[in-house]
Amino acid sequence: MKNQAKIAYSRQTIGEADINSVIKVLQSDFLTQGPVVPRFESSVASYVGTQYAVATNSATSALHIACLALGVGPGDVVWTSPITFVASSNCALYCGAKVDFVDIDPLTANMSIVKLSEKLEKAKKDNSLPKVIIPVHYAGQSCEMSAIYELSLKYNFRIIEDASHSVGGCYLDKLVGACVYSDITIFSFHPVKIITTGEGGMALTNNISLFDKLVSYRSHGITSDPLKMLPRPAEEIWNYQQLFLGFNYRMTDIQAALGCSQITMLDSFVSRRREIASQYDSMLSDLPVVTVEQSVNARSSYHLYPIRIRKSICGKTQRDVYDFFKKFGIGVNLHYIPVYRQPYYEKMGFTRGYCKEAEMFYSEAISLPIFPNLTNYEQTYVIDILREILGE
Ligand SMILES: *Cc1c(COP(=O)(O)O)cnc(C)c1O
């Protein structure tokens, strides 16, 4: 235990091909809005089996324009999971809507279908049904999308999958992103995620009218398609028109070039992550920690590998274990503080105890390092440290 390893919880994997791909764009005519963004969009769309893809400068902006495309605005309510990054919820606030949270299933840390059904039934009586629900595929494991889809037919809400963790994951033999059970799926290409473009995100859909709106909101609400423009006097030059209030959420060709080479590595990244996860499963099998359960319907891409430290089982607190890992240079992390416990959300009136399972999860979870280049030696070191603090 003498050598002080420095191991992150996640990090990008960049190869020679990635570097060359970016250099090629730097030497070309276009740095942004060139031919590489559409090439990246079609490679992701064809990989996951979706009709349309809209690349953006982050998943956060993709979530924002996805909400706008579905008509979210003041007076609407959007529901998501409390165990997620704040972006899954902030996107609704950007639109002037309200947010609310559905507690998690303690076994998977994904939105609980039972809690969701109960909350919908109650909201129907109060006339406060959500316009959109944003399930989050926590750690890379898809939510039970067919059940959520069934509920959407009964209670008439739309679905945005926040699949920021789940690029390359599967649900019922289809890749996450195929939008079989949702209107729009969102991917993130932040460096800690499965593949990266530096910063970047994408919205995927099979609905052409949603696609048109996403494209428009991504770039100021401007169109240069003569068929979409309003009639104007022939002597005036109208090479573009702004029809809506949109944003500059465009991805650059430099980022897309990195994405194009990264996606060729996606299968191998996901298999390596799954291999590391299964090694953790067996290394942890005789230790007094709780792991996340895997549904038979989902095949996780393992963005995260969380364990739960429960004092009543192992005699140590989450803080004891977290601090001990940090002392040995292991960059464990915490995913997530329930969104509504954030000071900004508390100001909206959310209080402690609102989602009991989410809070329990928050008080126990620690994400162990997982990324394709984590070596077996480093992984063994992580488990050695854990054994030592647990006194096993
Ligand atoms: C990372 C993440 C986001 C935001 O992604 P960015 O690309 O950094 O904007 C949104 N939702 C979840 C669940 C995430 O993990």
Tens digit of pLDDT for each residue in 65-79?
999 999 999 999 999
Residue 3, pLDDT > 90, answer no
- Rounded to an integer, what distance in angstroms lies between the CA atom of residue 266 and that of residue 246? 32
pLDDT tens figures, 12-45: 999 999 999 999 999 999 998 899 999 999 999 9
Average pLDDT over residues 383-387: 97
Residue of 179, 135, 132 lying closest to 157 (CA atoms) = 132
Hey, is 236 helix, strand or coil? coil
The whole-number pLDDT of residue 392 equals 87
- Rounded to an integer, what distance in angstroms lies between the CA atom of residue 113 and that of residue 155? 14
pLDDT tens figures, 110-140: 999 999 999 999 999 999 999 999 999 999 9
pLDDT tens figures, 164-217: 999 999 999 999 999 999 999 999 999 999 999 999 999 999 999 999 999 999
Rounded to whole angstroms, what are the CA distances from 238 to 51, 92, 222, 363?
30, 34, 12, 58
Q: Which atom number of ligand 1 is nearest to the Cα of residue 87? A: 10
* Average model confidence (pLDDT) across the chain: 96
Q: Which residues line ligand 1 (CB under 6 A)?
A: 58-60, 84-85, 87-88, 136, 162, 164-165, 188, 190, 201
The whole-number pLDDT of residue 391 equals 92
Q: Which atom number of ligand 1 is nearest to the Cα of residue 84? A: 13
Q: Which atom number of ligand 1 is nearest to the Cα of residue 63? A: 10
Helix (H) or strand (E) holding 208: helix 208-218
pLDDT tens figures, 309-340: 999 999 999 999 999 999 999 999 999 999 99
Nearest CA, atom 10, ligand 1: 87
Gap from CA of 96 to ligand 1 centroid (Å): 20
The whole-number pLDDT of residue 1 equals 46
Residue of 61, 63, 86, 88 best suited for mutating to test ligand 1, as the one with most atoms within 8 Å of CB: 88
Task: Extract the runs of DSSP E, i.e. beta strands, from the chain.
Answer: 52-56, 77-80, 98-101, 132-134, 158-162, 170-171, 174-175, 184-188, 201-205, 222-223, 241-242, 290-291, 298-299, 305-308, 365-368
The whole-number pLDDT of residue 5 equals 56
The whole-number pLDDT of residue 4 equals 53
Residue 372, pLDDT > 90, answer yes
- Rounded to an integer, what distance in angstroms lies between the CA atom of residue 26 and that of residue 160? 34
Instruction: Please give the single-letter amino acid code of residue 35.
Output: P
Q: Which atom number of ligand 1 is nearest to the Cα of residue 188? A: 7
- The CA angle 48-53-58, to the nearest 5 degrees, is 105
Gap from CA of 60 to ligand 1 centroid (Å): 6
Gap from CA of 164 to ligand 1 centroid (Å): 5
pLDDT tens figures, 247-267: 999 999 999 999 999 999 999
Residue of 57, 78, 85 best suited for mutating to test ligand 1, as the one with most atoms within 8 Å of CB: 85
Edge-to-edge strands, sheet with 184-188: 52-56, 201-205, 184-188, 158-162, 132-134, 77-80, 98-101
- Rounded to an integer, what distance in angstroms lies between the CA atom of residue 259 and that of residue 250? 14
Q: What percentage of residues in the chain have a pLDDT greater than 70?
A: 99
Write b or e for each residue in 39-78: b if 16 or more Cβ atoms lie within 10 A of its Cβ, otherwise e. ebbebbbebbebebbbbbbbbbbbbbbbbbbbebeeebbb
Residue 284, pLDDT > 80, answer yes
Average pLDDT over residues 220-226: 94
Query: What is the reported pTM?
Result: 0.97
Q: Which atom number of ligand 1 is nearest to the Cα of residue 189? A: 7
Residue 362, pLDDT > 70, answer yes
Q: Which atom number of ligand 1 is nearest to the Cα of residue 200? A: 7
Gap from CA of 48 to ligand 1 centroid (Å): 19
Gap from CA of 240 to ligand 1 centroid (Å): 32
Gap from CA of 195 to ligand 1 centroid (Å): 13
Gap from CA of 55 to ligand 1 centroid (Å): 14
